[in-house]
Chain A
């Protein structure tokens, strides 16, 4: 299993600024993901955070807007850059272990409001 600490838990930010969200895992994991959860609750995968290399972004998400770092197997950050009110959402960090029959683990989420 894995325990994930994600912070901040919430923030209110001015438009045009940036926010960095941190995700710390209590064990080494291969696969780490960042999701966005819009009001209405569906999860959208932003990117896969790759250790030691550039993240793999899903369609509609770009590195300039959502730069991701993953310096080691237990830590990652997601930055939401040049924020607008449309970026108001919940951002979730998630990890999975290697085997396909194991579940995903989630951080408690970061609730971001852009004003």
Chain B
């Protein structure tokens, strides 16, 4: 079945540091890929998405590129802020229509 593997956290960075959160997936066919963010005390919300190979999703300075050859969708940001502290989930939707989520990666950004 479908699966998503993302790096374990917490990831702890200083403000303005570069961020990478790794995500790889296993799925049949051509799934759509997503990154969600969960701020403390809230539900998940979509951060960005990509629906086909080589697409780049971007939002709020975050980017991720759909790499079919490496089955990856790594999240990057060039300069993180304290307000980016949250939990980030990589996810996919494939043929089953039910989303599959990674375990989440906590990001802590210090001033």
Contact = CB atoms under 8 A, between A and B. Distances in A.
Interface in B61-75: none
Interface string B67-90: 000000000000000000001010
A101 B32 contact: yes
A30 B99 CA distance: 14
Contact of B46 (A43, A48, A103): A103
Secondary structure class of chain A's binding surface, majority of residues: strand
Interface string A76-115: 0000000000000000101010101111101111010000
Interface residues of A, number: 23
A73 interface: no
Given A43-B89, A100-B93, A101-B32, A109 B49 contact: no
Contacts of A107: 43
Interface in A2-58: 4, 6, 31, 33, 41-43, 45, 48
Interface residues of B, number: 26
Contacts of A4: 43
A104 B31 contact: no
Q: Which of B49, B98, B106 has the most C-beta atoms of chain A within 10 angstroms of its own C-beta? A: B98
Nearest to A93: B43
Given A31-B98, A43-B101, A96-B99, 10 more contacts: A42-B104, A45-B98, A92-B44, A94-B44, A94-B99, A100-B32, A100-B93, A100-B97, A101-B93, A106-B43
Interface of A: 4, 6, 31, 33, 41-43, 45, 48, 92, 94, 96, 98, 100-104, 106-109, 111
11 contacts: A31-B97, A43-B89, A45-B98, A48-B98, A92-B44, A96-B93, A96-B98, A100-B93, A102-B32, A103-B36, A104-B34
